[in-house]
């Protein structure tokens, strides 16, 4: 089994754990503050990881190239934009619609990767991506009216959801481009320095934005370092996995396999929060499972 597959599965589990921990911060910070907390506390951890893998391999980073910086800034901005678009989708419609359309990220990543990086997805790879998206839709649209509303492409919730998926896809492809531009060093080293650089850029962007638009949020966020620190630790561990996988494999397949996170979140809801699981969700899990099997075979 290729190394990137267990890395993605571990990253998806850690991302689900981060989401679980982040619920503790709900209501204590604004949307911008919560987003900022993900980056400001993650940066020192990501930098420590990058320095560690560099010391173990003996690789010393040089002056960043224009290619690296272009991809990096594009990815950092796209990721921030994706977060806001997803929240905007939730504000204009059911959670299910925003979630489902944002998960078209894998399909959109295949398009962006072909255009930007010249990476083409195989026929069976594309089939795996489409099956995974169908599974997500089954799990998301628990109510018939949500499914019907999702067909209205003029709906703001749909438009913002698609936009979030596009921005997430652009971020994934850009981060892969940045990591690949660092040359032939270890994938762990390239991923580590790309992640550390991305979180630094995002911290600067979000910190500047909050100082201007939401005075007091930066101080409030930093004051919650104990609660946010644990979230950041789980988030960085997951991000290390995502960035490493994106260095090893195309963004479309990585993000298609990442749908396994929905299985983890459903199990968390069932086992931890004692929420019932519907037949539709079980069918969605089955389709995502089939998608994962195809991805493993394709890889």
pLDDT digits (tens, 9 = 90+) for 14-43: 887 877 776 666 567 777 887 788 888 899
pLDDT at res. 168:
93
What pLDDT band is residue 160 in, cutting at 50, 70 and 90? confident
pLDDT at res. 96:
62
pLDDT beyond 80 at 187: yes
pLDDT beyond 60 at 9: yes
Of the ranges 29-38, 132-141, 173-182, which is most confident? 173-182
pLDDT at res. 173:
97
Q: Which of 163, 32, 158 is nearest to 85 (CA)?
A: 163
To which residue do tokens 């913002």 refer? Answer: 160
Q: Per the structure block, which two tokens stand in for 254? A: 């990585």
pLDDT at res. 154:
60
Of the ranges 9-13, 57-61, 118-122, 172-176, which is most confident? 172-176
Which of the pair, 53 or 217, is modelled with greater confidence?
53
Query: What single-letter DSSP state applies at residue 185?
Result: S
pLDDT in tens, 56-84: 998 877 788 999 999 999 999 999 998 88
28: phi then psi, degrees, rounded to nearest 5:
-95, -20
pLDDT in tens, 224-241: 887 777 888 888 999 999
- As a whole-number percent, the residues of the chain with pLDDT over 70 amount to 90
Q: Total structural domains in the chain?
A: 1
Q: Per the structure block, which two tokens stand in for 159? A: 């438009």
pLDDT at res. 94:
66
Alpha helix segments (H runs only) across 113-224: 123-140, 144-149, 156-180, 187-213, 217-223
To which residue do tokens 């004692």 refer? Answer: 274
Structural domain boundaries enclosing 62 = 4-298
Residue 95 CB neighbour total at 10 angstroms: 12
Per the CB < 8 A criterion, the answer to whether 254 and 242 are in contact is yes
pLDDT at res. 225:
80
What pLDDT band is residue 145 in, cutting at 50, 70 and 90? low
Q: Which residues, in sequence order, are CB contacts of 249 under 8 Å at separation 6+?
A: 2, 4, 299
pLDDT beyond 60 at 170: yes
- As a whole-number percent, the residues of the chain with pLDDT over 90 amount to 45
How far is the C-alpha of 248 from the C-alpha of 144, rounded, in Å? 39
pLDDT in tens, 88-132: 887 777 666 677 778 889 999 999 999 999 999 999 999 999 998
How far is the C-alpha of 169 from the C-alpha of 113, rounded, in Å? 9
pLDDT beyond 70 at 152: no
Q: Is 155 exposed, middle or buried (0-12, 13-18, 19+ CB in 10 A)?
A: middle
> Chain-centre distance of CA 119, in angstroms?
20
CA distances from 263 to 106, 257, 293 (A): 17, 11, 14
What mean pLDDT is reported for the chain?
85
pLDDT in tens, 246-274: 999 999 999 999 988 778 777 777 777 67
What pTM was computed for the model?
0.88
pLDDT at res. 114:
94
pLDDT beyond 80 at 275: no
């Amino acid at each position: 089994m290729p190394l990137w597959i267990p890395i993605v599965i571990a990253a998806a589990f850690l991302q689900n754990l981060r989401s679980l921990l982040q619920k503790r911060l709900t209501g204590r910070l604004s949307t911008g503050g919560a987003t900022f907390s993900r980056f400001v506390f993650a940066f020192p951890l990501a930098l420590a990881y990058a320095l560690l893998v560099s010391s173990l391999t003996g690789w010393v980073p040089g002056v960043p190239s224009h290619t690296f910086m272009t991809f990096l800034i594009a990815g950092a901005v796209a990721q921030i934009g994706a977060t806001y678009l997803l929240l905007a989708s939730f504000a204009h419609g059911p959670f299910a619609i925003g979630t489902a359309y944002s998960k078209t990220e894998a399909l959109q990543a295949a398009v962006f990767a072909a255009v930007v990086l010249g990476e083409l997805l195989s026929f069976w790879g594309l089939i795996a991506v489409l099956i995974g998206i169908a599974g997500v839709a089954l799990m998301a649209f628990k109510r018939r009216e949500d499914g019907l509303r999702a067909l209205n492409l003029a709906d703001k919730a749909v438009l913002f959801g698609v936009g979030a998926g596009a921005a997430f896809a652009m971020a994934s492809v850009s981060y892969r481009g940045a990591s690949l531009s660092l040359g032939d060093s270890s994938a762990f080293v390239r991923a580590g320095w790309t992640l550390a650089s991305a979180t630094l850029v995002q911290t600067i962007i979000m910190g500047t934005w909050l100082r201007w638009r939401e005075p007091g949020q930066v101080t409030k966020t930093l004051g919650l370092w104990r609660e946010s620190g644990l979230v950041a630790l789980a988030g960085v561990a997951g991000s290390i996995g995502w960035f490493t996988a994106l260095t090893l494999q195309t963004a479309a397949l990585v993000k298609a396999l990442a749908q396994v996170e929905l299985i983890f979140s459903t199990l968390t809801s069932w086992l931890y929060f004692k929420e019932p699981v519907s037949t539709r969700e079980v069918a969605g899990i089955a389709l995502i499972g089939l998608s994962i099997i195809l991805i493993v075979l394709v890889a």
